[in-house]
Amino acid sequence: MPRIVLTTLLAALSLGPSWAQSATPSPQPGPLSPEQALKIRRVADLNFSPDGSRLACVVTEPPKGQAPESHIWMLDVASREFRQFTFSAKSESAPRWSPDGSSLAFLSSRGEHMQIYLISMKGGEAWALTSTKAGVGQFRWSPDGKHIAFLAKEPPSEAEEKKEKDKDDANVADLVSDLQQLWLIDLPEPGAPKAAAHERQVTRGAWRIGQFEWLSDSSLLAEASNRLKDETWNSALYAIAVATGAFTLFSQPPQPYGSITISPGRSTISFTGPRNAGPSPHDLYFMSAAGGGARNATASIDRSVRGVKWLNDTTAFAAIADGFHRRLLQVAVNGTITPVDLPGFAGVFDVARDGSLAYLKGDFDQPDELFLKPHDGPAAQVSHLQEANWKGVRLAGAEIFRFQSFDGMPVEAALMKPPAPGSSGARPALVLLVHGGPAGNYSAGAETWAQLLVSRGYQVLMVNPRGSSGYGEDFLKANKADWGGGDFKDLMAAVDTVIARGEVDPQRLGIGGWSYGGYMAEWAITQTNRFKAAVSGAGMFDLAAEFGTENGPAGDEWYFGTPWEHPEAFAHSSPYMYIRKAHTPTLILQGENDPIDPVGQSTALYRALKRYGVETELVIYPREPHGPREEKHQLDVLTRMAAWFDKYLSAPTESH
């Protein structure tokens, strides 16, 4: 058990309602428009150069036309100058420094397929390092900087190319040729002609390879499984010899696990995993790179670990979800844990070798910006990415409160209120928004749906019910085989807590969400008539049918088993079983190519609601996966969602 130096970070939730008022924003000219609500630039993938003099990251622009574009930006640490670094017509992502810091590799789809590009820090243009016909997945530099390993499918054979040319595109399930294999490229010598490097295939056969890292200059550590047709959590950690492609079992972490990292000197491996089975990785584990057992380094914290970066071979930094907030911990391999004080920390960060920190800071009313904290000085904002799009616009803050649910379980929620009362003097309507997951959570960030609704005069309630992350593993597991049970009662207890304050109209309640949030909206309309409007995005109507058609059913199996062995569990938590009780007008939104919650779930809900005379509308977005990416579709979602609540909740729409 690690020793923990932590006193106030994780205070117990109080048993009675308590309220923490954030600063009240000044009024803005009128309701936020869907177009304005999309104008948030997103920052991700922070990477210090080896000497700490530069920081590369990815900035995703607001959508314009098709999917949003992402480009690499660069911070000069000494001057604090932060500028765009790549400017192609296509997106770039995954910036990774060479071990000596002389060059930067990244992914881009500038050609027909995703390739690795390389650019020298001495100047010049980026050039394609790979030319694979199947496109590159993840990649990693070798410790000596002489090689890059990457994942890609084997190139199609002549027969396969002929079939594709003849439009013979029958999709056969579970083919070995669909698996990504490990490849290796040798980096050109300095001054050599800039041309695609020779690509050598390292692995072959029926191995499904996930995340990988270099274990040494001659071997890789990979999450992998040779059980191709088995859709359970069944991977293990394997050492892969670069010379031969041979797999050697290294370790079998508890399932499910992920976020594998290795310390700079390749002495210690970290990964995230549960204390026992599922439903998602929770704690940080350390194990020796020489082999042996793994040790839970954050058992005494009991909060979900969301990101790990190494300072040196003895110390790592870990971001954790702590309710609506993100915290940063310094975790020593010997077991000592020390909190790092970063107010407003949004959970994305990197650490330089001298201990300097780059991180994102935000809040409910503040889209994320990049901050830099030198190892020997105070933190300072170094980006101003949001100013151009948000000048003169103030977003709404939130009140975080805690209440006691139906069975005494302490639960946390956030309430957002309009900046000024409507001119009619009527109490505002209340919209309950439910997060996805179910093992997700709401955090203190600029939530688009919430900001759009609160600017139109609604109070907006966001709850982290049982099953959410950020409150300990027992809380995370509390809705096992009980979707729509205790979690739904937590949501309704939160609604009643807000109503008891007397500030909202209890006859004008709405509910909405996406994915698990969409499911909960569907569930709610079958359990109560208190909601007068519902919006379900990519929800789940028949859990057994979803299990048989979704990609990756292992998560649902953790909650319910399989529908062939436990049909009663799937039926009990499926909205279709109770749909005859529904009367709430329901808007249904869905991506046509959603592999996570397939489109049939929404069409089945729509058909049932029509059968029983419930006001409903189904909108399917072509080409879209689980969440809409194209600008026109994102705008349509926001516009329809707001209009639906306006129509059925009679919310005030005048300017404030």
Query: Per-residue pLDDT for 26 more than 50?
Result: no
- Residue 75 CB partners (closer than 8 Å, separation 6+): 54, 55, 56, 57, 81, 82, 358, 370, 372, 382, 383
CA angle in degrees (0–180, nearest 5) for 371-372-373: 125
What is d(CA 290, CA 314) in angstroms, rounded to the nearest whole number?
Answer: 15
- pLDDT tens, residue by residue, 288-310: 999 889 999 999 999 999 999 99
pTM reported for the whole predicted model: 0.92
The pLDDT score that the predictor gives to residue 15 is 32
Tell me how crowded residue 100 is: count the other CB atoms within 10 A of its CB: 13
Query: Per-residue pLDDT for 653 more than 60?
Result: no
Query: Per-residue pLDDT for 28 more than 60?
Result: no
Q: Cis peptide leading into 279, omega within 30 of 0?
A: yes
What is d(CA 472, CA 490) in angstroms, rounded to the nearest whole number?
Answer: 17
Query: Up-side HSE of residue 221: CA atoms within 13 Å toward CB?
Result: 26
Bridge partners (DSSP) listed for residue 304: 321
The pLDDT score that the predictor gives to residue 650 is 84
Higher pLDDT, residue 414 or 68 = 414
- pLDDT tens, residue by residue, 398-431: 999 999 999 999 999 999 999 876 656 789 999 9
- DSSP labels for 419-488? SS--TT-PPPPEEEEE-STTT----SS--HHHHHHHTTT-EEEEEE-TT-SSS-HHHHTTTTT-TTTHHH
Q: What is the mean pLDDT of residues 605-620?
A: 98
- pLDDT tens, residue by residue, 315-353: 999 999 999 999 999 999 998 999 999 999 999 999 999
From 46, 59, 640, 146, select the one nearest 358 (Cα to Cα).
46
| Residue at 484: amino acid letter | G
What is d(CA 602, CA 534) in angstroms, rounded to the nearest whole number?
Answer: 14
Query: Up-side HSE of residue 527: CA atoms within 13 Å toward CB?
Result: 20
The pLDDT score that the predictor gives to residue 193 is 65
101 burial class (0-12, 13-18, 19+ CB within 10 angstroms)? middle
What is d(CA 174, CA 436) in angstroms, rounded to the nearest whole number?
Answer: 29
CA angle in degrees (0–180, nearest 5) for 338-339-343: 160
What is d(CA 140, CA 363) in angstroms, rounded to the nearest whole number?
Answer: 33
Highest mean pLDDT among 135-144, 185-194, 644-653: 135-144
List of domains in the chain: 398-649 (3.40.50.1820)
The pLDDT score that the predictor gives to residue 19 is 33
| Residue at 329: amino acid letter | L
Two tokens at 619? 């909108």
Bridge partners (DSSP) listed for residue 184: 149, 200
The pLDDT score that the predictor gives to residue 2 is 39
The pLDDT score that the predictor gives to residue 171 is 84
What is d(CA 334, CA 338) in angstroms, rounded to the nearest whole number?
Answer: 12
From 656, 90, 131, 42, select the one nearest 396 (Cα to Cα).
656
What is d(CA 203, CA 329) in angstroms, rounded to the nearest whole number?
Answer: 37
513 burial class (0-12, 13-18, 19+ CB within 10 angstroms)? buried
- pLDDT tens, residue by residue, 113-125: 999 999 999 988 9
